Amino acid sequence: MTAASPSVAAASAPNHLGRLKALTAVTAVAFLLGLGMALAYAGTDAIQGNVQRLFYFHMGAFFGAFVAFACTVVGGVQYLRTRNVKWDTFALAGVEVGVVLSFINLATGSIWARPIWNTWWTWDPRLTSAAVMVLVYIAYLMVRSGIENRDTRHRFAAVYGILAFSSVVFTLVVIRIRPDTIHPAVIGTGAQDAQGGFAMNSSMTTTLLLNMAVWVFLLTPTLMWWRIRLQNYADRVTQRKIAYMEQG
């Protein structure tokens, strides 16, 4: 039962619901502001037209996912060092939020690619590695769910979560070093075969920066916080069940 005590402590600590609700409200307002700027304020791309507006969410979602998956690495390393369950919960929240954001990233990219590349999907190294990145983290959830012993589950999840980050790094790096990807790099120089890149004016840059900030600094932490809260309650229910069973 010693292994269980940290999670009980974490769950019964002051749960900051007021602060979480305030953060959620701020996130909602900022998200709507970002959406409004993407739809109305940012200039329309001269060649691509309105579909280019998806890009603000596409990039925001990717970097939100990046931050969430980086949290999984931090959670994994910290769990292995301290063996405190709260870090495992942190890592799990990172994976689940990151997977959702990666799906948003893939979906917006796909909708954009249909008019620009004339296809929903193409087997390009960048796209393939982004899709595999999602699968790695789904595999993470499957590895987790297959282990009954709590300590083993947390240890294996930490190790796999750290290994899995290689796919995120690979996705980020592949566009910079591979000349045969058609995915454009909007910031910095992209591949020579890139199709659908565009130059941004100041209203577009402002919109991009605001949306990036919202997705990375507000949306991702808010979602993760809710997920951690949920996990703490779930752990507490499990503890109550075990205590009840032991009483007979």
Partner 1 sequence: MTVFARAVGAIFLKDMRAEWRSRELIGVMLLFALLSVLVFSFALELDRLARREAISGVLWVTVVFASVLGLNRSVAQERENGNVDALLLAPIPRAAIFFGKFLANWLFTAVIGALLLPLMTVLYNVTLASLPVLGLLLAGTWGICVTGTLLASMTLQTRVGEALLPIALLPIALPLLLGTVRATTGILTDAPVNDWGGWVGILLGIDLFYTVVCMAFYGVVVEE
Binding region for partner 1 (CB under 8 A): 80, 125, 128-129, 132-133, 135-136, 139, 142-143, 146-148, 152, 155-156, 158-160, 162-164, 166-167, 170, 177-178
Question: In this complex, which beta carbon is closest to partner 1, that of residue 135 or of residue 230?
Answer: 135
Contact between 68 and 98 (Cβ < 8 Å)? yes
Question: In this complex, which beta carbon is closest to partner 1, that of residue 148 or of residue 246?
Answer: 148
Minimum Å distance from CB 203 to partner 1? Answer: 37
Question: In this complex, which beta carbon is closest to partner 1, that of residue 96 or of residue 216?
Answer: 96
Alpha carbon distances (Å) from 11 to 4, 230, 242 = 11, 10, 16
Minimum Å distance from CB 240 to partner 1? Answer: 24
Q: Could you tell me how many residues make up the chain? A: 248
Question: In this complex, which beta carbon is closest to partner 1, that of residue 8 or of residue 172?
Answer: 172
Question: In this complex, which beta carbon is closest to partner 1, that of residue 4 or of residue 132?
Answer: 132
Minimum Å distance from CB 171 to partner 1? Answer: 9
Question: In this complex, which beta carbon is closest to partner 1, that of residue 80 or of residue 212?
Answer: 80
Minimum Å distance from CB 207 to partner 1? Answer: 33
Minimum Å distance from CB 106 to partner 1? Answer: 15
How large is the greatest C-alpha to C-alpha distance in the chain, in angstroms?
72
Contact between 194 and 202 (Cβ < 8 Å)? no
Minimum Å distance from CB 147 to partner 1? Answer: 5
Radius of gyration of the chain from its Cα atoms, rounded to whole angstroms: 20
